[in-house]
């Protein structure tokens, strides 16, 4: 049962461009939606997170947009940099656990 | 900055052998988790643990798996008789409460031959 769907699987963006990753969830009991950044061979690191009573949250170049009625949320990476090249996972929390999306590999070309 | 640590970073074992993966959660955290990530796939929840009890476990976490907090700092995952399909990256995570963010360790890469 796939509770969190993430797209695209991969994307390539030019330095300075905008990366957009989308996620959709099914379980309306989810109460917290974090995004994790993962570099090869490393553990997921929290990037930014949002709760369902907020429609947008911005931290530096990273913004989460949240649409509760559509059960969708997205990550925008503004002014993408080569150091942003990584795999990004959306997740949703419910019942003591995180359900992860399949991940998006972002490649930022210099 | 406090962080979750895991040992070993890599473990190679023969099918049928027992392995123990170790984690030291962040010191003031009370909730502990194990997740795994098969190569190229998404991170999957295995088990959550609080107050010396399992709070939640997935269908992956069968009788071959067990967790323990043997002392005040370590949190372990034991796989009793490893199978080839147990080969994965295993991540430990911890959080202060169920409402707070889960912080992940760097993982243990387990290879079962």
- CB atoms B48 and A97 under 8 Å: yes
pLDDT tens-place string over residues A11-52: 999 999 999 999 999 998 899 999 999 998 888 999 999 999
Between CA B41 and CA B15 the distance in angstroms is 22
E strand residue ranges, B65-107 = 65-68, 75-79, 88-95, 103-104
Q: Which residue of A has its CA nearest to B98?
A: A96
Note the pLDDT tens digit of each residue in A78-98: 999 999 999 999 999 988 789
Q: What is the pLDDT of residues A56-82, one digit of tens each?
A: 999 999 999 999 999 999 999 999 999
Entry field: residues in chain A:
110
Which residue shows structure tokens 């997205």? A74
Measured between beta carbons, which residues in chain B are less than 8 angstroms from residue A49?
A: 101
Question: Which residues make Cβ contacts (< 8 Å) with residue A63, sequence separation at least 6?
Answer: A48, A56, A57, A75, A76, A78
φ, ψ dihedrals at A31, nearest 5°:
-125, 5
């Amino acid at each position: 049962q796939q509770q969190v769907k993430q797209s695209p699987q991969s994307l390539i963006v030019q330095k300075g461009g905008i990366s957009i990753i989308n996620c959709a969830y099914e379980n309306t009991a989810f109460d917290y939606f974090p995004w994790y950044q993962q570099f090869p061979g490393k553990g997921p690191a929290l990037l930014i997170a949002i709760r369902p009573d907020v429609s947008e949250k911005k931290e530096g170049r990273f913004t989460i947009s949240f649409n509760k009625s559509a059960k969708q949320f997205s990550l925008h990476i503004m002014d993408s940099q080569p150091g942003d090249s990584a795999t990004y996972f959306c997740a949703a929390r419910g019942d003591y656990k995180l359900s992860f999306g399949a991940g998006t590999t972002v490649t930022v070309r210099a | 900055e406090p962080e979750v640590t895991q040992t070993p970073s890599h473990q190679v074992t023969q099918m049928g052998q027992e392995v123990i993966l170790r984690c030291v959660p962040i010191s003031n955290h009370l909730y502990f988790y194990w997740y795994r990530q098969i190569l190229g796939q998404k991170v999957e929840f295995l088990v959550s643990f609080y107050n010396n009890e399992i709070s939640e476990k997935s269908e992956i976490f069968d009788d071959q798996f067990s967790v323990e907090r043997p002392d005040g700092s370590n949190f372990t995952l034991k796989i009793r008789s490893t199978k080839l399909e147990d080969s994965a990256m295993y991540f430990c995570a911890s959080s202060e409460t169920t409402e707070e963010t889960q912080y992940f360790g760097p993982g243990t890469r387990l290879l079962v031959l």
